[in-house]
Amino acid sequence: MNCKIPSWITTFKTTARSAMCVSLLLLQPDVSHAEAVVKERKVLVIGIDGCRPDALRKATAPELAGLAEKGAFSYTTQNLPLRLVDVETSSGPGWASMLCGAFPDKHGWLDDVRRRRFNGNNPHFFARLKAHNEKLKTASIIVWRPIMNMVTAADVNESFVDDKGVEDRALDVLGTLNPDAMFIHLDAVDHAGHHSGFSAENPEYLGAIEAVDGRVGRIIAAIRKRPTFVKEDWLFIVSSDHGGWGNGHNSHRNVVPDIRRVFLIVSGDTAMRGEIEGQTYIIDVAATALVHMGVKLDPAWNLDGIPAGLKGFPSPAVSRPNEPAATELIRVKK
């Protein structure tokens, strides 16, 4: 029997097939969009020499405060573990620890006079980045010249007499080199502390912090004005090598809290928001920078640092291995 299919049934099938096709298309991943949102990761580490966290919070420093507000922060970060009683709380051990991710008993730089032997067993994090991808561009721009001695894998490794020189060169490098990782060292805060006192009550010291804050703001503004910035994923990490007490930053057995205590700011799209729980150390800077850049931390490197302040990573423990909690610090009267 030859039955004619009603036209309304044919129309219904055609409409249903069309709707199904549209639904399937909507369920397909937008490959072009997925590729567009993959950004090129970059990192800027800023070291502010001799900056106490209590003074930083008291100073008028809107740029640094803004980074902390939009990212992760700790104002109880420590520069050295209490177990290393024979290591100076000075610039060499501090910067070496921050930039290689290990404490002085591993990297060998124990003080700034007799034992300045950076052994290279735990290299500057630039070397780890270059081993991961030799095409990555790196730049170290500093005031305190001995930092240059540990930098072995940089496209730019330069020192200047003052913070203005560092700022000017950093702005130039951002426009000419297209760096993937930068370390910038600013020294004026430490100079002010040595000259008139490391104290949140010292106007000269606070003024130096405020001047550095302006330089940080101009450098970050230059990054955000880059024509490629929308395609980049920058992580900004800011910390210090040591605090200070009186006119210096060394103490017997390294127990003065205002010398050991610094700060850590981790800011960017990959950073968590709010105060970092647990105990952070300056060694966490290198580990955090490496992980942001896609480098897997190898246990064979024997790093002391861990990723801190990044989304998807647990907070550091209150008491890290072989180190008591910071709350157990011995208090020394001023």
Model pLDDT for residues 294-309, shown as the tens digit of each residue: 999 999 999 999 999 9
Calpha distance 50→185 (Å, rounded): 11
124 has a pLDDT exceeding 60: yes
3-state secondary structure 270-304: CECCEECCCCCECCHHHHHHHHHCCCCCCHHHCCC
8 has a pLDDT exceeding 60: no
pTM, rounded to two decimals: 0.86
Q: What is the pLDDT of residue 33?
A: 45
Q: What is the pLDDT of residue 117?
A: 81
Structure tokens at 301: 């490197």
Calpha distance 157→149 (Å, rounded): 10
Q: What is the pLDDT of residue 216?
A: 98
Q: What is the pLDDT of residue 302?
A: 93
Q: What is the pLDDT of residue 5?
A: 47
**How would residue 86 be classed by pLDDT, with cut points 50, 70 and 90?**
confident
Q: Which CATH class is domain 39-328?
A: alpha beta
| pLDDT tens digit sequence for 68-84 | 999 999 999 999 988 88
Angle between helices 125-132 and 284-292 (to 10 degrees): 20
**How would residue 36 be classed by pLDDT, with cut points 50, 70 and 90?**
low
Calpha distance 140→138 (Å, rounded): 7
The number of beta carbons lying within 10 Å of the beta carbon of residue 164 is 14
Calpha distance 317→171 (Å, rounded): 37
164 has a pLDDT exceeding 90: yes
Structure tokens at 323: 């180190």
Mean pLDDT, rounded, for 115-126: 89
Q: Which residues pair with 310 in a beta bridge?
A: 271
Q: What is the pLDDT of residue 141?
A: 98
The number of beta carbons lying within 10 Å of the beta carbon of residue 282 is 28
Calpha distance 242→246 (Å, rounded): 13
| pLDDT tens digit sequence for 252-268 | 556 788 999 999 999 99
The number of beta carbons lying within 10 Å of the beta carbon of residue 124 is 29
**How would residue 323 be classed by pLDDT, with cut points 50, 70 and 90?**
low
DSSP per position, 63-81: HHHHHHHTEEEEEEEESS-
What Å distances lie between residue 281 and 23, 63, 98, CA to CA?
A: 52, 22, 8
Q: What is the pLDDT of residue 324?
A: 54
Share of the chain above pLDDT 70, in %: 83
Over the chain, what is the mean pLDDT? 87
Mean pLDDT, rounded, for 35-54: 91
What count of residues does the chain have?
Answer: 334
The answer to whether 233 and 41 are in contact (CB under 8 A) is yes
